[in-house]
């Protein structure tokens, strides 16, 4: 291979090069990049250096026409942007729980103005919550909710899923991690799943002790006392 310019550590738009990718390409090196939004992308040198690719795909998701609303950076606008990322951008770190599960955003909410009109400004301390957790993001399925209401929704998802499809331990852990992502305290998660805080903390950090794959694994995790 010829002379390779190491791009590690360099920043291109929203992307910071982490390392040379293991993946092979015929022309030019591929680089693993971390995006400002939390997403990841693997991009070749040329596309980085010419500015062809400057994000994990999140820029495209945000680039909807008519952005002259003067709300960029506000709480409400951040909620709208994050909703779109987790539902529309497969590179988002939360995709698996949203877009990857078929959770959609209604066409009307391509427009931030319409979202603002439907939902109003986001109150301090509240987050965007779906009333039916299997339904998409649209006016009649969304509300601004405080952490307590959000925890109740999560408890509902958990119960429903447990009955519906005999959740595996990995799914339970994913659910716990999702709640953590959403800002729930360990104590709150422990209450939802009826587990000890230390157990929940261990599961979120390390997953199950072995690859056993049914619900009862939780009760077998020893308490660290
Ligand atoms: Zn991104």
Quickly count: other Cβ atoms within 10 Å of residue 137's Cβ.
21
Beta strands in the chain (DSSP E): 11-12, 15-20, 30-35, 40-44, 127-130, 142-145
For the chain, domain boundaries = 11-56, 61-125, 146-225
Confidence of residue 162 (pLDDT cuts 50, 70, 90): low
Give the pair of three-digit tokens for residue 185. 């305290």
* Contact (Cβ atoms closer than 8 angstroms) between residue 147 and residue 170: no
What pLDDT digit, counting tens, does each position of 42-81 carry?
Answer: 999 989 988 889 999 888 777 655 455 566 678 899 999 9
What pLDDT digit, counting tens, does each position of 13-53 carry?
Answer: 999 999 999 887 777 789 999 998 888 999 999 899 888 89
In sequence order, the 6+-apart residues with CB closer than 8 A to the CB of 72 are none
The CA 133 to ligand 1 mean position distance, Å, reads 25
The CA 55 to ligand 1 mean position distance, Å, reads 5
Confidence of residue 183 (pLDDT cuts 50, 70, 90): confident
What pLDDT digit, counting tens, does each position of 127-153 carry?
Answer: 999 988 889 999 999 999 988 887 777
Phi, psi of 85 (to 5 degrees): -60, -50
The CA 59 to ligand 1 mean position distance, Å, reads 7
The CA 110 to ligand 1 mean position distance, Å, reads 18
């Amino acid at each position: 291979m010829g002379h390779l310019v190491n791009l590690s550590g360099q920043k291109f738009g929203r992307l910071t090069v982490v390392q040379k990718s293991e993946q092979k390409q015929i022309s030019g090196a591929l680089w693993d990049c971390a995006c400002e939004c939390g997403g990841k992308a693997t991009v070749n040198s040329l596309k980085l250096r010419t500015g062809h690719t400057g994000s994990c795909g999140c820029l495209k998701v945000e680039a909807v026409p008519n952005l002259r609303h003067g709300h960029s950076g506000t709480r409400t606008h951040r909620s709208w942007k994050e909703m779109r990322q987790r539902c529309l951008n497969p590179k988002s770190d939360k995709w698996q729980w949203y877009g990857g599960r078929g959770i959609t955003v209604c066409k009307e909410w391509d427009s931030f103005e319409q979202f603002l009109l439907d939902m109003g400004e986001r109150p301090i301390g509240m987050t965007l919550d779906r009333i039916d957790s299997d339904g998409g993001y649209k006016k009649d399925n969304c509300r601004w909710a405080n952490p307590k209401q959000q925890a109740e929704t999560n408890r509902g998802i958990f119960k429903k899923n447990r009955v519906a499809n005999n959740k595996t331990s990995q799914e339970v852990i994913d659910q716990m991690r999702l709640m953590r992502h959403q800002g729930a305290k360990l104590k709150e998660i422990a209450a939802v799943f009826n587990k000890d805080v230390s157990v929940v903390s261990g599961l979120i950090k390390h997953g199950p002790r072995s690859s056993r794959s049914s619900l009862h694994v939780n009760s077998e995790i020893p308490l660290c006392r």
